[in-house]
């Protein structure tokens, strides 16, 4: 059984293909809206690498500290990130592993539907085959 302080075990998750209730669809749409911001995506992607301060996140996402804090407030309200105090710094991390998995799936999907352009070889060279 899952407690308030723990994440559900994978066996506690419901089937992904089940019908969405109206309430669940609304909540998922809010989450997807939050992910529809390039700045927030950059912040979340930076957090895949582990805990970060607001200042470090701002630098990595090329955002002001103020804009970063604003984005992080929204992400916290949706339980996409967690925060803890460390002295005068606030340290952020992804709320759980599902977010890293979701970001990876979205990036992999993009790579699948937008593969890199083939590399042009200079004239006179041939591709070697193993």
Residue 7: pLDDT above 80?
no
| Domains, in order of start, for the chain | 30-113 (1.10.10.10)
Judge whether 80 and 44 are in contact, CB under 8 Å. Answer: yes
What are the tens digits of pLDDT across the range 51-93? 999 999 999 999 999 999 999 999 999 999 999 999 999 999 9
CA torsion through residues 57, 58, 63, 67, sign: positive
What is the reported pTM?
0.78
Q: Phi and psi dihedrals of 45, rounded to 5?
A: -65, -40
């Amino acid at each position: 059984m899952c407690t308030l302080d723990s994440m559900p075990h994978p066996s506690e998750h419901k089937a992904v293909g089940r019908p969405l209730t109206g309430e669940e669809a609304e909540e998922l749409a809010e989450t997807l809206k939050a992910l529809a911001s390039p700045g927030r995506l950059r912040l979340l992607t930076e957090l895949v690498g582990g805990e970060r301060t607001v200042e470090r996140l701002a630098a990595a996402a090329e955002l002001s500290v103020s804009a970063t804090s604003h984005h992080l407030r929204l992400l916290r309200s949706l339980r996409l990130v967690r925060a803890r105090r460390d002295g005068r710094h606030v340290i952020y991390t992804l709320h759980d592993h599902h977010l890293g998995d979701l970001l990876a799936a979205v990036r992999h999907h993009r790579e699948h539907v937008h593969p890199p352009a083939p590399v042009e070889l200079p004239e006179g060279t041939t591709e070697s085959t193993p």
